Every structure is written in structure tokens, then in C-alpha cells.
Chain A
């Protein structure tokens, strides 16, 4: 059995902005997902990121990131995110929302446990008619993998906007990560890690936007 040695955490799979570059830095995990699912890894990651662990269920991981990936596959990730540095005073943000982009890397059942605590997201979703879960007989909650979660979060944030800087300044780190992800199709922590990996390997700061991306396809 091959042991994958990713250089980045599993969040890279929902870092759509530089998806191919990210894939090149996680050994052959994307190719493995493609073999298992029969689809392009990007498609699965964009449409149903919550299913990704299921396609990796037989994969083995080693290296520094092994533990994170094993936690991802065994559905033990938490919404913990990077710590954002305050840039100003908190204007007062009366929302309780203990989630981050990472809930969309969890099984639907586990994601529900976090999502239901974020009334800001759930009430906006309800008003927009976006289903994050549904109810079966006897009001039982039926959870399901949310299709295109980034589009749903973007719709919710359009409807009930929260500024990224407000979330940051009020110490809502998870929410800030979620907002950044939805606005930029990018995970902030992954951007920073990719930057530092490229810097350490090549001695300069990457600039994907300037067209360097193809040079890093075979990064590992």
C-alpha cells in the first residue's frame, strides 16, 4: 500500500484558487481521489467536498502531515483555523458562529453539529431557502452532503454580509476564515503555507497570479 506524504493539510482540497498547485504538493492524493471516484478531483472537491474522506478511506499517510490527514479521513477534524491578527477595534459583532470552512471537510452529520450552532448562517440560509439539512418523519434531522457549499456560503454572505475585517477585529477566527474562503475561493492558511513552501524551495515568494503556476505542477 502506498503511503502518501502530503506537504499541506487537507484544507488544500477546498483551496480552489490554486487547486492544481495545491495538488502538486500533496503527493498523489488528487490522482488517488480521481482513481477512486472516476471524476476529476477538482469536481468532487468543489461539488461535494464532504465526500472526499470517503474516497480516501483506504489511503495511508505518512510524513509530518500524516496525523492531520488521518484525522480528516476518520472524520475527526475540528473547525479550528488560523489566528487572524486584529487590525482595528471590534465594531460589535453579535453573532455566535463556531464554524470555519473546515465544516465542509467533515461528514454531513458532523458538519451539522457545528452548522446548527451558527444561527447567523442557518437563519440566512432558511430565509434564502437554502437547505443545509432537512427533516424526516418525527422531525428527525436528515443530513446530506451539501452540494457546492462555497456557492451557498457566498449566497448567504451576499444576503447577510459580514465584513472580513469585522470578523477579524472581533476575534471570530473561524468565521473570518469562512468569509475569506467564500470571497476568494481560497483558504488563507493554505495560501500562507504554499508561499512559505515555495519560498523555502526556490528562495523567492511565489506569484501564482503572474503565471508561475505551470512551473510547479511537479512540485514534489
Chain B
């Protein structure tokens, strides 16, 4: 039962007391403190609401929720594009320097379902190559995706293959990693020569 109800650009808003969650929820924020309260309060201004409220963004199927500690009232934003609206809310939090109160699991899930976070191609083949190399008796010397330590020993054949595989799959978010890999290659002339041979 709405205490107050009105239409907005992409749907309608209902302010209600004691909102009952009908379907499984995705929590958009971490259960923190005043910072969440401030963030939600600011975001609510978009709807012309100044009171402290929980937020539910829903398309009738999914419910994305941001909880305002201690709030009694709930603003229910009904929109057919609930995932997009929830993602916008998360982006708003990040853009205003509040990334740390965002539930990063929910953010990643939204990015994947909305296609914002692209997944690499040929993943299965790459993993299979990694696995079969291990099974062939190769020592499992792996180069992590996010960071690469400076080599302390001579490079192994497996390392060279792995670097080549990684270089085939460069995207903007892997730039730092690529820089580190190139750093390693440049510090090691033999490794560079081997890579050039493979290329």
C-alpha cells in the first residue's frame, strides 16, 4: 500500500511503510553506516524525496535493495529496466567516491548480465591447454592474471607459452598486467628471444 505514489521518467515510484520483499533480493550495498545513509539520501533527491528510506528497485521479478540503517519507509522504484537502474545506482556510489560501500558481488553480477563486463573468448581452450600441460608432466609454474612477480630463475617453457596466451587476450582492463609482463620480458633477453621465435 503506497503512502505516496507518482510517475517518473522510466517507471513509477511508491513510498510505502513495511515493504515486504516478494522475490529474492540482491543487496546493492554493504551493511555499513552513515556513509550509506548519506549516499542513499543524496540519490533519493533524484526522486524529490528527502526523508531517509530504504530503496527497492524492481521490475516485478527481480528486487535490488539498498538498506538505509534504521529507516522505516521504503521507496519502491518500479521500472522495466530494474537491472540498469540498479547498475546506475551503483555507478552513482562509485562516481561519488563510495565504491567501498558497494556490494561488489552484486556489481559484478550486474555488469555481466548487462554486458558491461565482457568475458574473454576461447577461455575453455586456454584452460584446457593449461591443464594438459600440467598433466603432461610440466611443473605447475603459473603466471597470475593480476600480477606477475619478477622472475628469480631462468624461464621455463611453460611460462613462455602462458605469456603468449595472455598477450593474445589483451583488453583495456588488463593494461597494467601487460605492462608488468612486458617489463619481465624486457628484463630477460632469452625470454624475449623465445617469444619472438614463437611469434
Contact = CB atoms under 8 A, between A and B. Distances in A.
A183 B134 contact: yes
A51 B145 contact: no
Nearest to A50: B105
Contact of B112 (A17, A48, A144, A155): A48
Nearest to A156: B144
Contacts of B51: none
Interface stretch (A91-99, A113-121, A135-143): A135-143
Contact of A130 (B99, B131, B146): B146
Interface in A34-91: 36-40, 42-44, 46-48, 50-51, 54-55, 57-58
A42 B128 CA distance: 12
Given A42-B124, A46-B127, A142-B100, A36 B113 contact: yes
Contacts of A148: 145
Given A136-B100, A154-B140, A145 B147 contact: no
Contact of B145 (A39, A48, A142, A147): A147
Contact of B26 (A38, A40, A54, A136): A54
Interface in A142-178: 142-145, 147-148, 151-152, 154-159
Q: Is the interface of A mostly helix, strand, loop or mixed?
A: helix
Given A38-B112, A39-B119, A47-B119, A17 B131 contact: yes
Contacts of B145: 147-148, 151-152
B123 interface: yes
Given A58-B23, A129-B149, A183-B140, A39 B112 contact: yes
B142 interface: yes
B144 A151 contact: yes
Nearest to A185: B131
Given A136-B99, A137-B100, A57 B26 contact: yes
B185 to A, nearest CB: 17
A154 B144 CA distance: 8
B131 A16 contact: yes
B144 A144 contact: no
B70 interface: no
Contact of B147 (A54, A55, A128): A128
A37 B117 CA distance: 12
Contact of A145 (B104, B119, B139, B148): B104
A100 interface: no
Contacts of A46: 123, 127
Nearest to A52: B109
B108 interface: yes
Contacts of B17: none
Given A43-B124, A54-B26, 17 more contacts: A39-B119, A40-B124, A47-B119, A47-B120, A54-B109, A109-B30, A127-B149, A128-B144, A130-B146, A151-B144, A152-B144, A155-B142, A155-B144, A156-B144, A158-B139, A158-B142, A182-B140
